[in-house]
């Protein structure tokens, strides 16, 4: 996203988890998503340590609970404790 759009949307929300989901909701209200050819590289530590399916289940469970109104602070604690 462009810097001016990021600033206009208030930047990243000040929360310990799900800040990307919250920013995505703001962006979606601002304009439709665009698919780009560039790739993003991120750490796979959790995937490597806990396995793909357990990590997928954890992420979807956290997302669902966030959608249902559980606080990002509570979800961040659960995310850290998920081992």
pLDDT of the chain, 83 residues: tens digit per residue:
889 999 999 999 999 999 999 999 999 999 998 888 998 888 888 889 999 999 999 999 999 999 999 999 999 999 999 86
Ramachandran assignment for 17, one of left (phi > 0), alpha (psi -120 to 50 degrees), beta (any other): beta
Q: What is this structure's pTM?
A: 0.78
Burial zone of 38 (CB within 10 Å; 0-12 exposed, 13-18 middle, 19+ buried): exposed
Domain assignments of the chain as residue spans, ordered by start: 3-32+45-81
């Amino acid at each position: 996203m462009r810097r001016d759009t990021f600033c206009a949307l208030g930047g990243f929300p000040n929360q310990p988890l799900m800040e990307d989901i919250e920013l995505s909701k703001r962006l979606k209200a601002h304009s439709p998503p665009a698919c780009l050819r560039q790739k993003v590289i991120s750490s796979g530590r959790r995937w490597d340590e806990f396995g793909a399916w357990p990590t997928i289940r954890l992420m979807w469970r956290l997302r669902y609970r966030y959608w249902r109104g559980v606080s990002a602070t509570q979800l961040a604690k659960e995310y850290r404790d998920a081992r």
